[in-house]
Structure 1
Amino acid sequence: MGGGHTPKIVGTVWGLLVLNTLGSAGAKTIVPLPRSLIQMVTMGALVAAFALALAVNLRLRIRASAYVFLLTLLLVTSVISSAHLESGFGALFRCARLALFVGTLWLLSRWWDGDLTFVRHHIRMYFAVLGSVAMGLAVAPGAALPDLYGGRLVGALWPLTPPQIGQYAAVIIGLTVLLVLGRRTDRVSAAVVIVPSLVLLALTHTRTATLGLFLGLALAIGSLLLTSGAARRFFSWAVLCATVAAVGFASVLQAWFLRGQSKENFSSLTGRAKVWDALLAAPRTAGEKWFGMGLGDKSFGGLPIDNSWLAVYNEQGLAGVALVAAIILVLGGVALLRPPSLERACAIFLISYCAIASYTEAGLGDASPYLLHLALAASLLAAPAAAAPLMTPELRRRHIPRWARRSEVP
């Protein structure tokens, strides 16, 4: 199964999955990029990821994974809901994309061994994405902080929205902090990742990512308090700094959090609640309630849904909602049953971050960064594969019949 050396090409496959989930819709870039070109690049990355994963795992060796199994059931539900073509042929295209995504995860599961290998791939790739955002900010500050988004940071080289950038920054900040606490990286290397990522996160003014980062880290570090002195010291300093910031910079923090919005607009979650109410009030047949309308662009009435649970309900019905809930509950339950460790803490951070973000962000029902974060959590929670014992020539002669021996060469 897994265990042993992980081929370098596996990191390339993971990076291609990251590229595929960046999406094709976002802010205007310095050099206009046709959406068809961006979609060709992202889909090409997914096809290449599947091909490379298959090439490096030709014997189709996989590990049992409740997470990928549930994703496979979600794929089946998506195909059932999309077969009626209520969302057009684009729904079947999205199903094919999800199938390639899930298939690639199955092929990679061979190397899910409960270690930090994929965490490092995750941090490197998203840090590279944030590097392109920082480069766009340096080259064209006006395009990177457009008035259209209220002066929030966007991708000026690749079309990335503020919530996307905030999500990527928050995830790699949290994972890097945990690596430092677990003494799996030095402080200088960590600072190189954390400091610029914090700056980019602040420039996005993304509340969901910020709350997900702090609450996810609190839960993850809390899982280490009984076994790690570094975690206890960090937690104490974090509480002290949070208290000082809340007292001394309350007005500044409030202004950043409100982003210039009125209290009415803020209470309706920037208009999201109106879309949610309309979606829930829309008439549906029994089939649409159970299996949804088919995979779409996560919108309703031309407006983004911005809620994973309602987006799944709209596209994959109650069956899809049940499967997504099962994914979160299974991963969370396995994490709670594992003994305290750095790997477990990283998984808890990722699961809790995705659960928190699901309230104001869509993505848990289709190929997305959120499913990739949860795949990383699943790889961290996988039990280490037992190493296969060496078979000496003497043992071969003793335990393998003569007719079954291919060779006596050791």
Structure 2
Amino acid sequence: MGADHPPKIAGTVWGLLVLNTLGSAGAKTIIPLPRSLIQMVTMGALVAAFALALAVNLRLRIRASAYVFLLTLLLVTSVISSAHLESGFGALFRCFRLALFVGTLWLLSRWWDGGLTFVRHHIRMYFAVLGSVAAGLVVSPGAALPDLYGGRLVGALWPLTPPQIGQYAAVITGLTVLLVLGRRTDRAGAAVVIVPSLVLLALTHTRTATLGLLIGLALAIGSLLLTSAAARRFFTWAVLSVTVAAVGFASALQAWFLRGQSQENFSNLTGRAKVWDALLTAPRSTSEKVFGVGLGDKSFGGLPIDNSWLAVYNEQGLIGVALVAAIIIVLGGVALLRPPSLPRACAIFLISYCAIASYTEAGLGDASPYLLHLALAAALLASSAAAASPSPPEVPGRHIPSWAQRSEVT
């Protein structure tokens, strides 16, 4: 695989993938946006991303990637399950969308070399999304904090739900903290990203995103403790801060965490458990158990499933569950086998976050931000071309000039 650096247009492609995965369902916006228009924009972004990726990689040079290969197998399973049209023609359209998504990742894999380029693209794009959320909050606080969502922050300019905003804020906060610890960005620039993101995360009252951020950062920073003094200092201060906050602000933290819910509602995961029980006890044919009913809108009986594993089981069957599990296991295994480094720490954070969020959020079986987070983790875990390419043999008594050494293996 080539050792060439990613072209600038690769950042545009990544940004278009982010736009595509924002979704079309959410809160009411200040200016009503027809869902058909939003779907046109998001789908158009995906088509444009694929076209641009193909334009800069006309020779179809790709990098071997277990992650994208497993996604391709998941796509095949999705097509098989959707061909029966139990979920309608919309299932085939979702398969087409997933195919473009996976195809674009294959084309971008050419530049996956374990560097931090795509991390910066990831942070910039989601920070821009959060900027639109903040703008909506300033323009119309009532629309951004509606009673319908219990006063939780939503997207008032683009229809984003509190869990989505919390997810984006948590992910870019974690990645930015790691960049600071790795001395890849200055503290002032990092504060511009971290402080507003944490404020927006707090306004969403999203428990999953908060736990994912804390646990993911703990695991990621833990992987750097032996090699980074900055990581050790940060970890020590973080533990002290969390301890003080837990003791001094226990009641306030509990109130924020419960969001005004009763203990029964909280233990029932805000009604999710009822949907999960109904899904698991519903009668299914052997084919539906193995392949699922086809790609749908991640709902059952008209209610959201809000669990990636059960959503995959419902739509792509046991084969789909096995493939998604393989994705998490393979990425996690590769991360554990890599030597300590900043890219490895970022990958561990992303994998951990997605694994934690999969319990109360759907998205691991279809084109989604979670698959994009894992794609970034795969890019970070890819060995560099320089490390993967064997050095040219030395000839005794002969010096090979640097310009004559091949830096690319095709």
Q: Same fold by TM (over 0.5)?
A: yes
Deviation, structure 1 residue 301: 0.2
Q: Does 1:282 align with 2:282?
A: yes
> Retained in 2: the 8 A contact 1:350–1:374?
yes
| Deviation by residue 1:240-288 (Cα, 9 ceiling, x = unmatched) | 0000000000000000000000000000000000000000000000000
Counterparts of 1:287 and 1:331, CA distance in 2: 29
Q: Corresponding residue for 2:342? A: 342
Counterparts of 1:302 and 1:344, CA distance in 2: 40
Q: Corresponding residue for 2:222? A: 222
Q: Corresponding residue for 2:25? A: 25
> Retained in 2: the 8 A contact 1:2–1:113?
no
Residue type of the alignment partner of 1:104 = T
Counterparts of 2:44 and 2:261, CA distance in 1: 40
Residue type of the alignment partner of 2:113 = D
Counterparts of 1:65 and 1:390, CA distance in 2: 23
> Retained in 2: the 8 A contact 1:145–1:152?
yes
Counterparts of 2:20 and 2:100, CA distance in 1: 11
> Retained in 2: the 8 A contact 1:170–1:201?
yes
Q: Does 1:380 align with 2:380?
A: yes
Counterparts of 2:16 and 2:124, CA distance in 1: 12
Q: How does 1:301-312 map to 2 (within 5 A)?
A: 301-312=301-312
Q: Corresponding residue for 1:136? A: 136
Counterparts of 1:2 and 1:268, CA distance in 2: 51
Q: Corresponding residue for 1:253? A: 253
Deviation, structure 1 residue 4: 2.8
Deviation, structure 1 residue 389: 9.9
Q: Corresponding residue for 1:154? A: 154
Q: How does 1:287-326 map to 2 (within 5 A)?
A: 287-326=287-326
Q: Corresponding residue for 2:165? A: 165
Counterparts of 1:13 and 1:186, CA distance in 2: 26
Deviation, structure 1 residue 390: 12
Deviation, structure 1 residue 130: 0.1
Counterparts of 1:24 and 1:2, CA distance in 2: 37
- Root-mean-square deviation (Å): 1.2
Q: How does 1:204-219 map to 2 (within 5 A)?
A: 204-219=204-219
Q: TM-score, normalised to structure 2's length?
A: 0.94
Q: Corresponding residue for 1:408? A: none
Counterparts of 1:233 and 1:45, CA distance in 2: 42
| Deviation by residue 1:326-349 (Cα, 9 ceiling, x = unmatched) | 000000000000000000000000
Deviation, structure 1 residue 220: 0.1
Q: Does 1:174 align with 2:174?
A: yes
Residue type of the alignment partner of 1:214 = L
Between the two proteins, what is the percent identity of the paired residues?
91
Counterparts of 1:117 and 1:141, CA distance in 2: 35
Q: Corresponding residue for 1:202? A: 202
Q: Corresponding residue for 2:188? A: 188
Counterparts of 2:55 and 2:390, CA distance in 1: 26
Q: Does 1:55 align with 2:59?
A: no
Counterparts of 1:195 and 1:4, CA distance in 2: 35
> Retained in 2: the 8 A contact 1:2–1:112?
no
Q: Corresponding residue for 1:237? A: 237
Q: Does 1:265 align with 2:265?
A: yes
Counterparts of 1:295 and 1:390, CA distance in 2: 47
Counterparts of 2:327 and 2:163, CA distance in 1: 23
Counterparts of 2:312 and 2:95, CA distance in 1: 14
Counterparts of 2:78 and 2:9, CA distance in 1: 30
Counterparts of 1:292 and 1:136, CA distance in 2: 39
Q: Corresponding residue for 1:333? A: 333
Q: Corresponding residue for 1:404? A: none
> Retained in 2: the 8 A contact 1:75–1:99?
yes
* Local SS of the residue matching 2:129: helix
Counterparts of 2:164 and 2:67, CA distance in 1: 24
Deviation, structure 1 residue 110: 0.1
Deviation, structure 1 residue 6: 1.3
Gaps of 5+ in 2: 393-410
Number of residues of Structure 1 aligned to a counterpart in Structure 2: 391
| Deviation by residue 1:373-399 (Cα, 9 ceiling, x = unmatched) | 0000000000101388999xxxxxxxx
